Every structure is written in structure tokens, then in C-alpha cells.
Amino acid sequence: MVSALCGHRVFSGTRLVRRTTERAWCSSMAEVKLDEMNHMQFDVLREIGNIGAGNATTALSQMLSAKIDMKVPKIDLLEFKELGELIGGAENIVVGILLTLQDDIDGMMMFLVEKKAAKSMVKLLMGGFSTGEDEDFSEMELSAMQEIGNIIAGAYLSSLSALTNMKITSSVPYMAIDMAGAILSVPAIEFGKISDKALLIETEFGDVGEEVNGYFILIPTLESYGQMLTSLGL
């Protein structure tokens, strides 16, 4: 067993908040090598992504009091450097919701959506009232978007917990509006020393004023990946 000191960064607005925790990493059967993951193991991660995205869509539909359809999510295990291009490019402005995870699963989870799409969701929640698409978010809109992110991420994590029978505790959601590359640099810096890959779940929502692409990014530690697979009998 090797003991390591890991720094966790989360963001609030434009500030990075750093908290440092000591954690032990085990080179045991619970740890997996993502590059050597077999077809069955990846299929299980894909199904986890499908179920989580479905529950998040249901929660969003109930929150917005609107019928929301979800196309079958696209799920892949990608390197951090590939994520930005799939979200419209590293310079694309997005709204990001980030949570740190602990207890049986350690790591991070992010939900990203383009600014225009975020405005559409906020507009529905606020009964049609919203600033223009190209304008900055008002304080009320920021609060509404953070609540939307909280509900979506909470529903996703609840389904993951129920599916794996693992306890997952998340931090208070932190939100940032910035270029995709800047937001994605947070998990890349933090987890790049452990793994250079993340599970990306791209979900297309319908009937929220327009077609909206939402991106869930699940970044457990290698040990947590292994524990999820073990809990499901793999």
C-alpha cells in the first residue's frame, strides 16, 4: 500500500478553492487499468452512463415541468485532451457544474452545457423570463442554473449509488462560466497524475426550446473504477 498526498481543486465563479486530503491508494484487485479494460467492463460503464443520464433527464423534466426527450447517450472513455474538441472546441463558452465525490467513490463529476442551451433551460425554469442569449447571466439566472445543475447531478449520482450499492457523498456543486478548455483543466490537473482518461456521456435533450447537448463527465479514481466494477460482479 502506497500513501499519497493529493490536492483537490474545485471552482466557484472564477476562483479555485483548494483543499488537500491524504488518501491511500491500493494496488489491489479493485484497481483497474483503463487501457486494458475488456469489452464487458466497458459495456457495464456504458450502461451506468445510460441509466444515470436517463434519471437526470427525468429529474430535469420534473423540475422544468416540461416533457423532455432524451436520445440514446453517446458514451466513450476519452483522454482529457480530447474532451474540449467534443464540446465545441476548447474556446467554446460553456456553463460547468462540478462536484467532488468521496466515500465509496472518490473523484469528480462534471456537467457541461453550452451557454445558449443553459439560457434556454433557465428561461423555462423562470417562466419565460431571461436576459438575451448574448448577455451575461443575471444573479437570478445564475442561481437558477446552479439549481438545475444540482438537480441533474444529484439524480445522476443517486442512480449510480443505487445501481452499485455504493455510498457516494458529493460536495456542494460549484459553477463556472468559461471556455471549455479552462473548465476542463481543473480535473486534468488534479487527476492527470492518476489517469489521463474520463468517462464522457453526451446526452441530447429535446423539447427545452431547442435541441440541447449536455455532457456528463465522470472522473473516478482508478481504485473507484475497480470498486464499481467489483460491486457489479466483474
| Model pLDDT for residues 69-100, shown as the tens digit of each residue | 777 778 888 887 788 888 878 888 899 998 88
Side-chain-facing half-sphere of 167: CA atoms under 13 Å? 4
In sequence order, what are the beta bridge partners of 103? Answer: 168
Instruction: Quickly tell me which residue has 434556454 as its cell.
Output: 120
* Maximum average pLDDT range among 26-40, 79-93, 117-131, 181-195: 79-93
pLDDT of residue 178: 92
Which residues lie closer than 8 Å to 193 by C-beta, 6 or more apart? none
Q: Lowest-pLDDT range, 36-40, 154-158, 170-174?
A: 36-40
pLDDT of residue 34: 59
Backbone angles phi, psi at 56, to 5 degrees: -65, -40
* Maximum average pLDDT range among 21-35, 61-75, 142-156, 209-223: 142-156
SS3 43: helix
Q: Which domains does the chain have, with CATH numbers?
A: 38-231 (3.40.1550.10)
pLDDT of residue 55: 85
In sequence order, what are the beta bridge partners of 204? Answer: 213
What gap in Å lies between CA 157 and CA 120, rounded to an integer?
Answer: 24
Q: Is the pLDDT of residue 116 over 50?
A: yes
In sequence order, what are the beta bridge partners of 198? Answer: 78
pLDDT of residue 206: 64
What average pLDDT does the segment 32-46 reach? 70
Nearest to 214 by CA among 155, 129, 161: 155
Nearest to 122 by CA among 140, 135, 136, 134: 140
With residue 190 as reference, give the H or E element that holds it: helix 180-191
With residue 86 as reference, give the H or E element that holds it: helix 80-86
Nearest to 54 by CA among 226, 164, 204, 191: 204
